[in-house]
Amino acid sequence: MYSLRCPGCSNSRLFDGLLRVIDQCPKCGLKLSTYEKGDGPIVFVVLIMGAFSVSLMAWIEFTYSPSIIVHLIILPIFIIFGSLALLRYIKALFIYIEYKNRSKNNEKKH
């Protein structure tokens, strides 16, 4: 299982601030700057938040039938905060997957 902690030791935090990954773990010395994050996590965030946003908009519309102003107020707030929260976890997941794959590849070479 993964968390927002270093994939090597699980003792120190993975992020410095909101979305910036630390360069090196202060506890175990794992260099996290070498792990490629790229644009992969944001693609999944866009797809997931798009599905949730459309579902939320449809539910609000069919349940309460509010004016368009309500949608214009609620949905951007939901999308912004939801995307930022989800991006941390998906970015951490990508780092953990790459860490596990590198570990398996290094074991096969020896």
Q: Evaluate the CA torsion angle 19, 77, 44, 8 in order and state its sign.
A: positive
108 band by pLDDT with thresholds 50, 70 and 90? low
pTM metric for this prediction: 0.82
| Pairwise CA distance, residues 38 & 68, whole Å | 36
- Least Cα distance to 3 among 88, 64, 84 occurs for 88
**Percent of the chain predicted with pLDDT > 90:** 69
103 band by pLDDT with thresholds 50, 70 and 90? confident
Domains in the chain: boundaries = 36-109
Q: What is the pLDDT of residues 14-67, one digit of tens each?
A: 999 888 999 999 999 999 888 877 888 999 999 999 999 999 999 999 999 999
Instruction: Answer whether 5's CB lies under 8 Å from 12's CB.
Output: yes
Instruction: Answer whether 34's CB lies under 8 Å from 99's CB.
Output: no
Q: Evaluate the CA torsion angle 20, 12, 98, 53 in order and state its sign.
A: negative
Q: Which residue has the tokens 């990954």?
A: 21
pLDDT score at 38:
80
- Give the mean model confidence (pLDDT) for residues 77-105: 90
